A and B are shown apart, each in its own frame.
Chain A
Amino acid sequence: MSRAPLVAAPDTLESALELLAASPWQPLAGGTALVPALRRLGAPRVLSLHALRPELRFVAVDARGLRAGAMATLRDLASSAGVRDHFPLLATAARAHASAAHQHRATVGGTLVTRSGPMAAAFAALDASVELRSCRTVRRVAAATFEPSGRLPSELVTALVASAPPPRVRQSFGRATTPAGTVYLAAVVALTRGTCVFARLAVASRSGGAVRLASTERVLTGERPGAALTTRALAAATEDVHACADWRQGRDRPWPLGRLLADALAGDG
C-alpha cells in the first residue's frame, strides 16, 4: 500500500449504510481473508464492521428456517443448538472450515463473499439466500449464484437466510482429496420407502463458489439408490464448466466423489 487507507468503524448499521451510499468502501468483517489481501493489494477506504456485532451477530432458528447475521462467526453456527438440530449440514461445514481459531473470526458474511469451499457447498445445497441492504433497499440473492461483484457499492451483506428443509430430509457433508484438489460435497436428500424423493447436491473446491449438480439431482429423484444409480448420477454431473477434461469425461468422478454421493444416499427411508 502506497498510502494509508481511510478507515471508518460505524457503530450502527444505519450509519454504515449511509457511508456506503456516499462513497465506495471496502467492508472488513472478520479479516481472515481480507487482512492478508489488504497487505498485498491495499484499498483506499476500509469500513470495519466489528462495531455492528450487536445488530449483525446472531443466529436464529425457528419453524420457518434459519436467519444468521452477517457478523455471526462460523463458530457461532457450529455451536448453535438450533443449527445442529435443524441444519446439521451447516454446522458440519462450519467445522470443516480451516481451524477453530479461524472459525472464531470468520464470519457468515465474509464466507458468503469469499465463497469458501465448505460453506459455499452447504449454502448452495440448502438453497440459502444472501440478504443485501442499502439505505433504500433490501434484497435477496441465491447464495449459490452470488458473486462478490454482485454486491452494489452502496450495499452490505447483512444476513444469510435458509428455509427449513422439507420433512424426512437427510443432510450430509463430505470432503475428499482428488487429483484436482479438495472437493466438498453437500447433500440434502430425502428417501421414502427406499426411493429418493428429493435431492439437492452441491460441490465446491477450496474457493470460487459452489456448483449445484442439477442434472444429477434429476437423475436421482424418483429412483432407488444403488451402485448403478450412483454411476449414472455422477455421469450427469456436467455443470462445472471449469472442470478439467478428466473430470468432464468422467475419469475423476467415480472416486471419491462417488463415495461421498453413496454416503449421502445411504439411510433409512
Chain B
Amino acid sequence: MRLCLELNGQQAVVEAPPLEPLVDVLHRRLGIASVRHGCRDGACGACHVLLDGAPVPSCVVPAIQADGAQVTTFEGLADDELLAPVFSRLRRSRTPPCDLCLPGLIVGARAFLDPELRLADESALESLAGNPCRCEGLAPFARMLDGVARAAPRARPQASPRRKR
C-alpha cells in the first residue's frame, strides 16, 4: 500500500505492506536510524516514536494504522523546547544512556513533559517503564526527568503534534 505520513514535520510517502510494523517502515524504508527493533514485542523501548503525539512502540503498530498520521522520532526532537533542559543535563552527565536506549527515552521524556499527556501523579519512572535501560538502569534518567518536570513553567508547550484519531 501507499503510505502517506508526516514524519518529523515533513511529508513522507512510501510503499509498504499494510501489516509491516512501523519500525521497519521507518528504519528500513525511510532511513530513520534512531528507530530500531530490539524485541519486536513492544517490551524494550528501542522503537518508541510519537504517533499523533502519543508515545507508542512502533514495532506493534502496523503500517496501515500509521497512514495519515504524524510521526515524530528522536531526529525530530532535537530542537524541542520542552526537551532543552533534558539535553542540557545529558550533555553534562558523565554516564548518559547509550544509543540503544537513548532515542526511546527521549521520545518518552517528550511525552512525559507534556502536561496534557502526563497523568496527575505519574512519575517519570512509571511513565518510562517501557524503556528498561540496561547500562545504568532507568532510575537515574527518571530522577533527572522528574527534576526537569518540577522545574518546568506551567505553560502550554510549543504546538505538539497531537491529533486524536
Chain B, 113-155, CB within 8 A of any chain A CB:
119, 122, 126-131
Which of B49-57, B77-85, B95-103 sits within the interface?
B49-57
A25-48 CB mask vs B (1 if < 8 Å, else 0) is 000101110011011000000101
Measured CA separation A77–B112 after assembly (Å): 17
Closest chain A residue to B54, Cβ basis: A104
B19-46 CB mask vs A (1 if < 8 Å, else 0) is 1010000000000000000001110010
Q: Find out whether the CB atom of A100 lies under 8 angstroms from the CB atom of B65.
A: no
Most buried by A among B45, B62, B112: B62
Q: A4-B17, A50-B165, A95-B119 are in contact. Are A31 and B130 (CB under 8 A)?
A: no
Taking the nearest CB of chain B, how far is it from the CB of A69, in angstroms? 13
Q: Find out whether the CB atom of B64 lies under 8 angstroms from the CB atom of A35.
A: no
Closest chain B residue to A49, Cβ basis: B65
Most buried by A among B40, B56, B129: B56
Q: A98-B130, A99-B129, A100-B129 are in contact. Are A7 and B64 (CB under 8 A)?
A: yes
Closest chain B residue to A48, Cβ basis: B64
Contacts of A35 on B, CB cut-off 8 Å?
19, 21, 59-62
Closest chain A residue to B53, Cβ basis: A104
Contacts of B56 on A, CB cut-off 8 Å?
101, 104-105
Write the residues of chain B forming the contact surface with A, with a CB cutoff of 8 angstroms.
17-19, 21, 40-42, 45, 48, 51, 54-57, 59-62, 64-65, 108, 111-112, 119, 122, 126-131, 164-165
Measured CA separation A7–B19 after assembly (Å): 8
Q: Find out whether the CB atom of A100 lies under 8 angstroms from the CB atom of B128.
A: yes
Question: Which one, B41, B59, B127, contacts A100 given CB within 8 A?
Answer: B127
Contacts of A38 on B, CB cut-off 8 Å?
19
Measured CA separation A57–B65 after assembly (Å): 15
Chain A, 89-117, CB within 8 A of any chain B CB:
95, 98-102, 104-105
14 pairs from A and B in contact (CB 8 Å cutoff): A4-B19, A7-B19, A32-B42, A35-B61, A36-B60, A39-B40, A78-B119, A95-B122, A98-B42, A100-B55, A100-B112, A100-B129, A101-B56, A105-B56
Write the residues of chain A forming the contact surface with B, with a CB cutoff of 8 angstroms.
4-5, 7, 9, 28, 30-32, 35-36, 38-39, 46, 48, 50, 53, 57, 75, 78-79, 95, 98-102, 104-105
6 extra interface residue pairs, beta carbon distance < 8 Å, beyond A36-B59, A99-B129: A35-B60, A35-B61, A36-B40, A100-B126, A101-B130, A102-B130
Measured CA separation A36–B130 after assembly (Å): 16
Q: Find out whether the CB atom of A46 lies under 8 angstroms from the CB atom of B19.
A: yes
Taking the nearest CB of chain A, how far is it from the CB of B2, in angstroms? 13
Measured CA separation A78–B122 after assembly (Å): 11
Measured CA separation A109–B122 after assembly (Å): 25
